[in-house]
């Protein structure tokens, strides 16, 4: 996933929930982002400032909650942390891993003025 498409989704989600609340301005957006998405929060904020231009979300601050990438080893069953996409079980060295977390992307909450 690329930052720009993620940013566009964040904006769409935030705007439609703000509309439901009849908000006048969006101040803050909380986002959960998994490490496996490979997205850099700083870039998302920069894109956001551009794509939100002219909307009630312009100027909103994005807050990120990062979810570490982890996988379960299919050979020994251990759960292993994936550091910088090093795809190997820390316990037995197997490369047969199933990703269990780190692909998350969701908008948790938005802070609005109504
Ligand atoms: Zn293993």
3-state class (DSSP) for residue 100? strand
CA of 80 to the centre of ligand 1 (A): 8
CA of 37 to the centre of ligand 1 (A): 23
Tell me, what's the pLDDT at 85?
65
Could you list the residue range(s) of the whole structural domain that residue 44 is in? 3-113
CA of 109 to the centre of ligand 1 (A): 37
Q: How many CB atoms lie within 10 A of CB 11?
A: 21
CATH of the domain at 109: 3.30.2320.80
Tell me, what's the pLDDT at 38?
87
Residues 10-49 have pLDDT tens digits of 999 999 999 999 999 999 999 999 988 989 999 999 999 9
Tell me, what's the pLDDT at 87?
85
Ion ligand 1, residues whose Cβ is below 5 A away = 73, 75-76, 78, 89, 91-92, 94
CA pair distance 6, 64, nearest whole angstrom: 13
Q: What is the pTM of this model?
A: 0.84
Residues 59-114 have pLDDT tens digits of 999 999 999 999 999 999 999 998 776 789 999 999 999 999 999 999 999 999 98
Nearest 5°: CA angle at 13, between 8 and 17?
150
CA of 100 to the centre of ligand 1 (A): 14
Nearest 5°: CA angle at 37, between 41 and 79?
120
Please give the tally of structural domains in the chain: 1
């Amino acid at each position: 996933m690329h930052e720009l498409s993620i940013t566009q989704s964040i904006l769409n989600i935030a705007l439609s929930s703000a509309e439901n609340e009849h908000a006048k301005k969006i101040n803050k957006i909380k986002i959960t982002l998994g490490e496996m998405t490979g997205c850099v929060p700083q870039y998302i904020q920069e894109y956001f400032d551009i794509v939100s231009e002219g909307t009630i979300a312009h100027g909103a601050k994005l807050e990120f909650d990062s979810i570490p990438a982890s996988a379960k080893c299919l050979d020994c069953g251990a759960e292993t942390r994936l550091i910088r996409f090093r795809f190997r079980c820390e316990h037995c060295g197997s490369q047969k891993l199933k990703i269990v977390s780190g692909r998350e992307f969701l908008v948790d909450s938005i802070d609005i003025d109504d």
